[in-house]
Amino acid sequence: MIEVLGKCYYIDIEAVIEKCRPEYPSTKSKKKATNDKVSNNDEGILELNVFKFEIFKACIERILSEYDEKEENISPFQEKSMGVSFRLAFNTLLKYNIIIEDIDG
């Protein structure tokens, strides 16, 4: 988990995969007709929208690279030190429910 402005967050890997699955109009109607059952031809196949995946990957890398291990005594996420790219990456992942606030932490 990472701590940002006093709150702990974690990355939901399943959300990344779910958000990156391509949406085909014919697939949606087929799934509704079969009560969301996957046909035998689709078993074990994982399709991802590569563009979405790369964007989410870049955002996750940006957030994870913000922490500098050399300055352990200083808070890595001070409000003044957060750059535009970090804030954009953090807010994007938060909006898409990829990073989730840990209410137990």
pTM for the structure as a whole: 0.64
What residues make up the domain containing 96? 2-33+48-101
Q: Which pLDDT score, from 0 to 100, does residue 55 have?
A: 92
Residue 50's region, left for phi above 0, alpha for psi from -120 to 50, else beta, is alpha
CA–CA separation, 66 vs 77, rounded Å? Answer: 8
**What is the sign of the dihedral through the CA atoms of 43, 47, 53 and 57?**
positive
Q: Does residue 70 belong to any structural domain of this protein? A: yes
Give the integer Cα–Cα distance in Å for 56 and 28.
Answer: 24
* Predicted pLDDT of residue 80: 56
Predicted confidence at residue 40, as pLDDT, reads 45
Q: Give dist(CA 91, CA 16) in Å, integer.
A: 15
| pLDDT tens by residue, 6-59 | 788 888 888 988 888 887 776 555 555 444 444 445 566 778 888 989 999 999
Taking only the tens place, the pLDDT of each residue in 54-101 is: 999 999 999 888 765 445 555 555 555 678 888 899 999 999 999 988
Residue 61 lies in a domain: yes
Can you tell me the distance from the alpha carbon of 35 to that of 17, in angstroms, rounded to the nearest whole number? 22
Q: Are 66 and 4 in contact (CB under 8 A)?
A: no
- How many structural domains compose the chain? 1
Q: Which two tokens stand for residue 65?
A: 């690279």
Q: Would 62 be classed as within a structural domain?
A: yes
